[in-house]
A and B are shown apart, each in its own frame.
Chain A
């Protein structure tokens, strides 16, 4: 559905996007992850045809962005960063305008607007000026605008940025509902969002793809992948416990983030729960908590995007 090949964008001396290549099939929710200024938004602007690439091609549903930019935009619903909207208009007026641009007329226009309003839960505010709406409603107007023509492809630039937890949850469940029959690219720097929504993630730093895979694959790169966290009860000897854990064959290293708390890191990411559990029983430790870590995406993110630090 979306094919990006050798995409680059140069702003004067700055290479904002450097030779990106990836493709996304239908039904995929692709998450762009990266620090601010890493080129996520610029890439999205090039996919939507707003910016002209310095080099490379973008094809959406087989349409080249250079050949038929208008045709391409008909297939895409786009939520720009910060969801800029005409503040003087009402959501209804704005959605009708966008609908007309997408060639809806008469009853079809009414239906399209009603559908978008219903999907995004805008009904209570359709006739208030957008200016007066809360951030969450404004964002939903932006999302409604993006999906009014039921596009095959949705490009959402930081769809939940600046929303409160309830609003985030609403936007996420909306995205999840639409996911099966669309191709969605969303950018974020919220890691939990990637785990909650995306089927695949691309981590971008300095305009380049530095990692890609499912959230689980990325997590498995973490030092914490398959590590075991323990909290022991009163009356144990912390030093002895630490040494005993470190002595296990599968354990590479032991951390003690707090008194009576331990994290045993495995060698080569192999499961060590069994060994740790047996050790605990043998030593007769009073166990209060024992958790297998899946891996920490934030740690992977930091180590990939800031290798020096």
Chain B
């Protein structure tokens, strides 16, 4: 695992070597901000917190995170650089984790740049900063799990568009499995335990729990475990697919 850092640094620098990073940061910040103010009724709620900011994160991430993750492996396979990379003395696991961490770090930079919102609520009122911190933590954890899914699907294909669509579809399933639409559909005719199981796989359920300021082990473990499972699958997929 010595070269995770080497891969990480190259990959993170790669984001900023092209306009991709800046386009993403601008779009993310513009969307996150406008959703908070226009759809989240930030002012009208009259409360000094960032609930109206965090509420939209799962929906924002649904398409923005697969967009970050889609290039991770698909591009390497398309251009053939995967052969250069994996014939260096680097293990597949090191490469997968290094790339994932770079994408995650990039996401956290985007998230950190929303700090003016935090300053705003602190200027206007007296919010519980512990809850806000929990919100950021939950958002970061959810982003990590989504990125692991995206990275895994990026290794499935050489085509970034296909990688994006597959990842987005799976992310939708994971996010929506806790929404009232899905749960109401099941709750009428399935036993309560099954409905609970479906809900327990939901990003929304776990994310909303953390955003409320209650950091419970099971919510954190859920995101970490999900990311681990998909990264492990990612390693296998890269290993199997590199022959093509």
Interface residues of A (CB under 8 A from B): 11, 45, 48-51, 70-71, 73-74, 76, 78, 80-82, 84-89, 93, 97-98, 100-102, 129, 142, 145
By the criterion CB–CB under 8 Å, are A74 and B89 in contact? yes
Interface contacts beyond A74-B89, A84-B79: sample of 18 additional A-B pairs, CB < 8 Å, sorted by A: A11-B243, A50-B86, A50-B242, A70-B91, A73-B89, A76-B87, A78-B84, A84-B81, A85-B81, A86-B14, A87-B79, A88-B14, A89-B10, A89-B13, A97-B6, A100-B3, A100-B6, A101-B6
The reply on B125 being an interface residue by CB < 8 A is: no
Given contacts A11-B243, A89-B14, is CB(A98)–CB(B87) below 8 Å?
A: no
Report chain A residues within 8 Å CB of B80: 80-82, 84
Given contacts A89-B14, A89-B17, is CB(A84)–CB(B89) below 8 Å?
A: no
Q: Bound complex: CA of A50 vs CA of B87, how far in Å?
A: 6
By the criterion CB–CB under 8 Å, are B87 and A88 in contact? no
By the criterion CB–CB under 8 Å, are B83 and A45 in contact? yes
Complex partner residue of B89 from A11, A101, A129, CB under 8 angstroms? A101
Complex partner residue of B243 from A49, A51, A82, A129, CB under 8 angstroms? A51
The 8 closest A-B pairs by CB, nearest first: A84-B80, A88-B17, A80-B83, A73-B89, A100-B6, A48-B87, A84-B81, A101-B88
Number of A-B contacts (CB under 8 A): 63
Given contacts A88-B18, A89-B17, is CB(A49)–CB(B87) below 8 Å?
A: yes
Determine how close the nearest CB of chain A comes to the CB of B194; give it in whole angstroms: 41
Q: Bound complex: CA of A88 vs CA of B21, how far in Å?
A: 13
Q: How many residues of B contact A (CB 8 A)?
A: 21
Determine how close the nearest CB of chain A comes to the CB of B213; give it in whole angstroms: 41
The reply on B90 being an interface residue by CB < 8 A is: yes
Q: Bound complex: CA of A70 vs CA of B79, how far in Å?
A: 23
Determine how close the nearest CB of chain B comes to the CB of A47; give it in whole angstroms: 10
Q: Bound complex: CA of A76 vs CA of B86, how far in Å?
A: 12
Q: Which residue of A lies closest to B10 (CB)?
A: A97
By the criterion CB–CB under 8 Å, are B83 and A50 in contact? yes
By the criterion CB–CB under 8 Å, are A80 and B243 in contact? no
By the criterion CB–CB under 8 Å, are B90 and A101 in contact? yes
Q: Bound complex: CA of A74 vs CA of B88, how far in Å?
A: 7
Q: Bound complex: CA of A100 vs CA of B85, how far in Å?
A: 13
Question: What are 27 of the A-B contact pairs (CB < 8 Å)?
Answer: A11-B243, A45-B83, A51-B242, A51-B243, A71-B89, A73-B89, A74-B89, A76-B87, A78-B84, A78-B87, A80-B80, A80-B83, A84-B81, A84-B83, A84-B84, A85-B84, A86-B10, A86-B81, A89-B10, A89-B14, A93-B10, A97-B10, A100-B6, A101-B3, A101-B89, A101-B90, A129-B17
Report chain A residues within 8 Å CB of B86: 50
Report chain A residues within 8 Å CB of B9: 97
Q: Which residue of A lies closest to B14 (CB)?
A: A88
